[in-house]
Amino acid sequence: MFEATTILGYKGEFEGKKYAIIGGDGQVTFGNCVLKNNAVKIRKLYNNKILSGFAGSTADAFTLFDMFEKILENKKGDLVRGVLDFSKAWRQDKYLRKLEAMMIVLDKENIFILSGNGDVVEPEDGKIASIGSGGNYAISAARALDRFASIHPRDLVKNALNIAGEICIYTNTNIKILELE
């Protein structure tokens, strides 16, 4: 079984300023072996206005990122319309819909989890989403930090991913973070 990541997205306000931040660990494993510990699984899309992260194989990630970027171009960067069209296209493609893959996409206004089953999920709290092997650990830590600590959103994401890396054997603490400014 291919286990491959923890991605955490956060959208919110801090000291009167809106933030959109995504982070991911660097570990890729196959069974009980670490294949790589410094993989980058997050990127900026559509003229650096949208953040995205991927859980699944690297080749699939590039395919899906490219596909999503083209749809965003057609929708002039409208994330809501883009995710709906992308979800339909992903679900209808015979090859892609069989992928066991997920994505988080966000901007300063919206955050979504996407899957090949056609799922478009907006987190219940509207601001924190996670995917991957350590996703439940990361979201638990992020929710606690969001509720009970007054820290910068970038630090919230980094600390939550570090906590996940301390618990999940498929997640490490080689964290990469992207932010919309």
Catalytic residues: 5
b/e per residue 154-173 (b: at least 16 CB within 10 A): bebbbbbbbbbbeebebbbe
Give the CA distances from residue 147 to residues 135, 140, 165, in Å, rounded to whole numbers and listed in that order: 18, 11, 21
Of 90, 72, 91, 89, residue with least CA distance to 81:
72
Nearest 5°: phi and psi at 36?
A: -160, 140
Q: What are the tokens at 9?
A: 């997205």
Check: CB of residue 71 under 8 Å from CB of residue 90: no
Return d(Cα 156, Cα 141) in angstroms, integer: 9
